A and B are shown apart, each in its own frame.
Chain A
Amino acid sequence: MTALDYGIKVVKAGKSITSTDLRDIIMSSKYSMLKQHSTTTGSATISQGGTSCYVDFSHSLGYIPAFLAYVSVSGFESSKERMIPNYSWGSIAGSEEYNFFGISNAYANSSTIRCSYNLAVPYNTVAYDADGVFWEYQTGGDDPVGVVFGNPGEGGKSTGWHFSGVQVPKDSALTSAQIEIKNVFSGPTNSDTKYKIWGIDEDNVGDINDLGKSTTDAYDARNQAKVGGFWNFGTDCKDQVAEIIARNNWAAGNNMGFYIRDDASVSGAYVGAALNSVSATLTVVRTGTITVTFRVIIFKDKIL
């Protein structure tokens, strides 16, 4: 018995049933098709400072199915839905900063489709390195040393720190703000170093060449214990940043400044730094959440 060449073939209007261009065929029983199993959506959130989220879609097929997946992010380009995998960048609605980098992937296993979203930069977080420092006290020579704050034996000394282009919209709700100064060292005494940190109360701070600029009402007074070796110093400045961005003429992208002033530390109690290696970073985290929505089309066809 010979197998017959039979089946069903439907071709496009105006095309011949004998066409060899497969694109002319609407349907042919010679070719299989992906068969839809389900379409499901699911959402997850990323809050300020967060970098990732995922949603698992159960399918109960018992094997690894073929699938397609799409993703949209609230506030990002009007929540356009993008095919996964996807790498996209831009800015979130309500934020002038152009630092939103999102990466989405999806995989299937025998029980689940997992869709994930990862941010290259923590959500609602901006960080800037200081681009100017005023040292009230510093030594000379090829490897000068300065006093960040404290009393090196010549009375209390202070510093001013300048950060350019701070992309925090006016009146933003803040989760945190911090200045971290790296590679500092403690003075010789075992006493705490006392300091206060103020913001500079200006809309757009220019170069800091002295300690005479107006300061915010908000300040923090703290004691810093002596620490051995080189270490990193971090200090909260949320209230100061909040006061600055509440100014009438503050705008995202303006410059911001801070004074870290000695607060009657005893002689020999100070926090110092080598001017050639010190660095400072201002990190501001704004309050907020994005919702990431995934849509998954699962087929009954097996990958394996």
Chain B
Amino acid sequence: MADWGLKVMVDGKSVDSVEPRDFAFNSQYAIVKIFMEGSGNITVADSEYQTVTITHNLGFIPIALAYCENVPSSGNYYIGSYLASNPIAILNSGITSYDSYLTTTTTVIKFYNNSGTSRTMVYKYYIFADDGA
């Protein structure tokens, strides 16, 4: 079988390079493809939590990324689940946080609020058409 394919090199790198980082694209390597992306906001009453379920129906557990502005209007978007300095006490630490999990059909993001007042949190997610396997 012939050795063929498509390679696009990073500027200044040789097409004969065996270093994967030298390739802008190489058909030998699968690319993490964005299957879905989206954003939204959710209002969570004090001492409560709300769940956002995003259906992807990929049939496998995909790679995903999530970001959340857990302090409204701060403009700061945390990656993953915000961790309080004492995770065990996260539900009574006076902050908002979230966690997430994946199934073969959905991505679920759970938002917790124990800030003392209702909060509207903004989130952004990426779901990739890959499972990393």
| CB-defined contacts of A118 to chain B, threshold 8 Å | 85
Name which of A18-26, A130-138, A166-174, A221-229 contacts chain B. Answer: A18-26
Q: How far apart are the CA atoms of A108 and B76 in the complex, in Å?
A: 5
- In the complex, the answer to whether A105 meets B78 with C-beta atoms within 8 Å is yes
Shortest CB distance A292–B (Å): 15
- Choose one: A27, A28, A69, A114; the contact of B76 (CB below 8 Å): A114
Asked if A125 is at the interface of the complex by the 8 Å CB criterion, the answer is: no
- Choose one: A23, A69, A83, A303; the contact of B39 (CB below 8 Å): A303
CB closest chain-B residue, reference A8? B6
- Given the known inter-chain contacts A26-B31, A27-B31, please indicate yes or no for A107 contacting B78, CB distance below 8 A: yes
Question: Total A-B residue pairs with C-beta atoms closer than 8 Å?
Answer: 101
Within 8 A of B (CB), among A35-87: 64, 66-69, 83-87
- In the complex, the answer to whether A31 meets B65 with C-beta atoms within 8 Å is no
Q: How far apart are the CA atoms of A3 and B6 in the complex, in Å?
A: 27
Q: How far apart are the CA atoms of A107 and B71 in the complex, in Å?
A: 11
Q: How far apart are the CA atoms of A87 and B31 in the complex, in Å?
A: 29
Q: What count of chain B residues pass the 8 Å CB interface test? A: 39
| CB-defined contacts of B60 to chain A, threshold 8 Å | 23
- In the complex, the answer to whether B129 meets A31 with C-beta atoms within 8 Å is yes
| CB-defined contacts of A66 to chain B, threshold 8 Å | 65, 67, 124, 126
- Choose one: A12, A34, A107; the contact of B79 (CB below 8 Å): A107
Chain A residues touching B, range: 35 or more
- Choose one: B28, B37, B67; the contact of A108 (CB below 8 Å): B67
- In the complex, the answer to whether B83 meets A105 with C-beta atoms within 8 Å is yes
Q: How far apart are the CA atoms of A25 and B58 in the complex, in Å?
A: 14
Q: How far apart are the CA atoms of A69 and B65 in the complex, in Å?
A: 12
- In the complex, the answer to whether A32 meets B67 with C-beta atoms within 8 Å is no
Query: Which 8 residue pairs are nearest across A and B when measured between Cβ atoms?
Result: A31-B33, A22-B129, A107-B76, A85-B80, A107-B78, A303-B124, A109-B75, A32-B34
- Choose one: A21, A25, A64, A84; the contact of B77 (CB below 8 Å): A64
B100-133 near A? 1/0 per residue, CB < 8 Å: 0000000000000000000000101010011101
